[in-house]
Amino acid sequence: MVSFTIDGQPVEAKEDQNVLEVALDEGFDIPHLCYNENVKPYGACRLCLVEVSRKGRSRITTSCNYPVMEGIEVFTSTEKVLRARKMVMELLLAMCPGSKLLQEMAKEMGINEIRFKKEDKDCILCGLCARVCDEVVGAHAIQFAFRGDRREVCPPFMEQPKDCIACGACVVVCPVNVIGMKEEGDERTITRWKRTLKMKQCKICGNYFAPWYQLEKFREKANLPKDFFDVCYTCRS
């Protein structure tokens, strides 16, 4: 166990934990967008900034990818931290001024105007969708591409991603909710990646429950019998 303090309060953590997850578990309020406990921390959104004092030296750093260490002092809302966080928030909002969530978060932080040139993007480039697709789903269908101000998350060659199984994990996980999914008849489409797959019908209830391609992949990976996915999850249980 590692013990340190957050805003003066002593806390204990396991060795491989990061500061953000400990702080959130202890009930501290640190805003964050790109952090998800199911994937490796990435430090992309820069909102979870905190001040960490270690061996008498203090620095501002992202808490999501800062490992816990014996005796460090973490401060989540010093004037310095709030100022830095506000700047990050303002920049995020300038990039995606249309996002309802960002607008609300900014308002809460007391940002009333954006001093920077507004862009008309909707994605904050946190890469959570790509990381989940990579680390959790294992489909590797989408990834960052290009660089600098042209950076974006997209399927390879900007085409319908042939590795995408239309599972919808990216849809659920996107913090700014800009990846859409729709189901029409026997088809499911992930709108942002323009991926459409035919769905399979359950033999019992007749509902279209999941894309054929996805079920085939699962069956292959887990070495399941051929008729395993003939009935849907609800009917099976």
Interacting residues with other proteins (CB under 8 A): 130, 134, 140-147, 155-157, 161, 163
Task: Give 142 or 169: the residue with its C-beta nearer to other proteins.
Answer: 142
Task: Give 102 or 124: the residue with its C-beta nearer to other proteins.
Answer: 124
CA distance 161 to 129: 14
CA distance 64 to 131: 15
DSSP-derived pairing of the beta strands 181-184 and 187-190: antiparallel
CA distance 31 to 195: 32
Least spacing, CB of residue 81 vs other proteins, in Å: 32
Least spacing, CB of residue 126 vs other proteins, in Å: 16
8 Å CB contact between 214 and 166: yes
Task: Give 86 or 217: the residue with its C-beta nearer to other proteins.
Answer: 217
Least spacing, CB of residue 156 vs other proteins, in Å: 4
Task: Give 95 or 154: the residue with its C-beta nearer to other proteins.
Answer: 154
Least spacing, CB of residue 115 vs other proteins, in Å: 29
CA distance 21 to 37: 8
Task: Give 77 or 160: the residue with its C-beta nearer to other proteins.
Answer: 160
Least spacing, CB of residue 194 vs other proteins, in Å: 15
